[in-house]
Amino acid sequence: MAEPLSRNVLRSGAFRFAVLFAAVFAVGSLLVLVAVQRQIEGYAVAATDGTLSNEAKVLASEYRALGLSGLTDAIRRHSHTGKDPQFRFRLVRGDGIRIAGDLPSGVRLDGRGTLSVREVNVAVRGEAMETFQTLGTALPDGLHLVVATDTFDVRALMARLRAFTLACGVGITLFALVGGYFVGSLFVRRLHGVNTSVSRIMAGAMDERLPAIGMGPEFDELSSNLNLMLNRIQGLMEGLRQVSTDIAHDLRTPLTRLRQQLEALRGQQTIDAYDAGIDVSLEQTDEILAIFRALLRIGTLEGGAGRGRLAPVDISEIVERVGLAYEPVAEDAGKRLETCIEPGLAVLGDGELLAQMFTNLVENALIHTPPGTRLTLRVAHRGGSVLAEVADDGPGIPPEERDKVLVRFYRLDASRSTPGSGLGLSLVRAIAALHDAPLLLEDNRPGLRISVRFPLSGGSGEILMEHARLPEPGSEL
């Protein structure tokens, strides 16, 4: 039974990461709020001190200008500025006798201080403790003046700031949790689709592909690369399946002939007949082994082996040597082989494999064309690539058959009486794919033209290469 989505989300790494990130964000936000609160508190206290200091300076100037009577009159005026006066005062002589003001006797006479007094508070409809901030100043003639103001508004502001900070902290935390759950659930849903596709692939649905995760370009790139890998794996498995089918089908005939030949040897009475039968059996065995070698080589090339050995090679020189090797073979068969090769063209490749590829193409044309056919080998620079062609003016291949002849063991009806196993063009296709060179079969009007387009080599200067060994004429598969 599948677990509920909510439980999967809460246990997912995406949710934990989102919560961790949200917690870091929440802590950072709370630190900012606390710092703002402290700044506002400091500003409020400094503003209160400035107000008290200014009031004390005003009253001191009154005393200097008008004397004690003027100071006491100023204190009375400033004490009756409304129902809730801003300042409270206490003026005492040096012996502690109060002259003016209503602050209690316990107030500090010098410097800054605080004083708590129980008074009637209209806001709470009863008595409450009021806290005053005080500033004591010494005046001439031994007098002491204390100015006080209540801190109710400041304390109310601080209380509201603390409540706001707490509320914001709780809100940010809840928002972080909800956001983390949302992000985690979204990620889990996307991964659920990916895991579902993976389960189908493991169950045998090799044509299934992973959906885009959609959480960012890097995740989509990961899905795309995995799908490309699955395409490659599917192609290799289909190739393996096809090879197994082809081997079971196409090797049955030579193995049957070999078995019949061996059975026929049982009835031979002479040594010469027996040796002749052995020679024929060995030839058939060599043919079967050659087919297996070709299949292994095609499979190795299609698997990408050898791509790391590619280096700049002179393709003009390789094709020229193939043409020189097969000119006498063509003449012996009553055909003509011509070359039209632009010298000094370099491509990134494997010289041995390229020699094998052009050898197969030339021999394929020699085997499947009648006497009098003209064959042409061309190599030329075309834009940003090198175009290599093997063309003939023979019967050609019908358009609907051109893709099929590249498949292992496939042979045209007209070619079944000629030597070969139907692997030559399959090997050509595998070599071309290893070199990232598109292979194209076209109508030569008349005849067939097979072209391979190679990217130009990025190297410059003299090309250093070993001469690739050409396969022996007649070794085409």
Burial class (CB in 10 A: 0-12, 13-18, 19+), 372: exposed
Q: What is the pLDDT of residue 1?
A: 41
Q: What is the pLDDT of residue 386?
A: 92
User: What Cα–Cα distance (Å) separates residue 320 from each residue in 354, 384, 393, 462, 477?
Assistant: 12, 21, 20, 18, 21
Q: How far is the C-alpha of 120 from the C-alpha of 122, rounded, in Å?
A: 6
The two beta strands, 336-341 and 374-382, are: parallel
CATH at residue 108: 3.30.450
Q: Verify that 40 and 95 share a domain, yes or no.
A: yes
* 387 occurs within a structural domain: yes
* 4 occurs within a structural domain: no
- Residues of the chain with pLDDT > 90, as a percent, come to 10
Total-model pTM: 0.47
Taking only the tens place, the pLDDT of each residue in 132-147 is 888 888 888 889 999 9
Taking only the tens place, the pLDDT of each residue in 107-166 is 888 888 888 877 665 555 556 777 888 888 888 888 999 998 887 777 787 788 778 877
pLDDT score of 169 more than 80 = no
Across the chain, mean pLDDT equals 78
Q: Verify that 108 and 151 share a domain, yes or no.
A: yes
**Alpha carbons within 13 A on the beta-carbon side of 346:** 14
Taking only the tens place, the pLDDT of each residue in 418-472 is 555 567 788 888 888 888 888 888 888 888 999 999 987 654 334 444 445 556 5
* 224 occurs within a structural domain: yes
Read off the pLDDT of each residue in 47-72 and give the average, rounded to a whole number. 88
Q: What is the pLDDT of residue 387?
A: 92
Query: Which of 302, 317, 340 is at the close of a domain?
Result: 302
Q: What is the pLDDT of residue 131?
A: 82
* 92 occurs within a structural domain: yes
Q: What is the pLDDT of residue 249?
A: 61
Q: Verify that 297 and 368 share a domain, yes or no.
A: no
Taking only the tens place, the pLDDT of each residue in 178-204 is 777 777 777 777 777 787 888 888 887
* 198 occurs within a structural domain: no
pLDDT score of 224 more than 50 = yes
pLDDT score of 218 more than 80 = no
Q: Verify that 445 and 326 share a domain, yes or no.
A: yes
Q: Verify that 25 and 145 share a domain, yes or no.
A: yes
- Decide if 100 contacts 93 (C-beta within 8 A): no
CATH at residue 269: 1.10.287
pLDDT bracket for residue 376 (50, 70, 90): very high
Per the DSSP assignment, residues forming a β-bridge with 250 are none
Q: How far is the C-alpha of 151 from the C-alpha of 133, rounded, in Å?
A: 7
Query: Which of 245, 276, 302 is at the close of a domain?
Result: 302
Q: How many folded domains does the chain comprise?
A: 3
Taking only the tens place, the pLDDT of each residue in 321-358 is 999 999 999 999 899 999 899 998 988 888 888 888 89
pLDDT score of 318 more than 80 = yes
Q: Verify that 369 and 384 share a domain, yes or no.
A: yes
pLDDT score of 265 more than 60 = yes
Q: Which two tokens stand for residue 393?
A: 């003016």
Q: Verify that 415 and 388 share a domain, yes or no.
A: yes
Q: What is the pLDDT of residue 464?
A: 41
Q: What is the pLDDT of residue 126?
A: 57
Q: What is the pLDDT of residue 64?
A: 87
Residue type at 384 in one-letter notation:
G
Query: Which of 302, 328, 352 is at the close of a domain?
Result: 302
- Residues of the chain with pLDDT > 70, as a percent, come to 79
pLDDT bracket for residue 37 (50, 70, 90): confident
pLDDT bracket for residue 239 (50, 70, 90): low
Q: What is the pLDDT of residue 466?
A: 45
pLDDT score of 390 more than 50 = yes
CATH at residue 435: 3.30.565.10
* 2 occurs within a structural domain: no
* 385-392: strand order across its sheet: 336-341, 374-382, 385-392, 448-455, 439-443
* 249 occurs within a structural domain: yes
Q: Verify that 345 and 414 share a domain, yes or no.
A: yes
Q: How far is the C-alpha of 128 from the C-alpha of 122, rounded, in Å?
A: 9
Range of the domain at 86: 14-159
Q: How far is the C-alpha of 462 from the C-alpha of 445, rounded, in Å?
A: 38
Identify which of 360, 318, 368 has the alpha carbon closest to the alpha carbon of residue 343.
Answer: 318
Q: Verify that 339 and 408 share a domain, yes or no.
A: yes
Q: Verify that 286 and 312 share a domain, yes or no.
A: no
Q: What is the pLDDT of residue 215?
A: 65
* 475 occurs within a structural domain: no
Q: Verify that 316 and 286 share a domain, yes or no.
A: no
Q: Which residues of 176-191 are buried (b: 16+ CB within 10 A; e: fewer)?
A: bbeebbebbbebbebb
Read off the pLDDT of each residue in 6-30 and give the average, rounded to a whole number. 70
Lookup result for tokens 């895991």:
195
Read off the pLDDT of each residue in 398-425 and give the average, rounded to a whole number. 64
3-class SS letters over the chain: CCCCHHHHHHHCHHHHHHHHHHHHHHHHHHHHHHHHHHHHHHHHHHHHHHHHHHHHHHHHHHHHHHHHHHHHHHHHHHHCCCCCCCCEEEEECCCCCEEEECCCCCCCCCEEEEEEEEEEECCCCEEEEEEEEEEEEEEHHHEEEEEEEECHHHHHHHHHHHHHHHHHHHHHHHHHHHHHHHHHHHHHHHHHHHHHHHHHHHCCCCCCCCCCCCCCHHHHHHHHHHHHHHHHHHHHHHHHHHHHHHHHHHCHHHHHHHHHHHHHHCCCCCHHHHHHHHHHHHHHHHHHHHHHHHHHHHHHHHCCCCHHHCEEEEHHHHHHHHHHHHHHHHHHCCCEEEEEECCCCEEEECHHHHHHHHHHHHHHHHHCCCCCCEEEEEEEEECCEEEEEEEECCCCCCHHHCCHHHCCCCCCHHHCCCCCCCCHHHHHHHHHHHCCCCEEEEECCCCEEEEEEEEECCCCCCCCCCCCCCCCCCCCC
Q: Verify that 287 and 385 share a domain, yes or no.
A: no
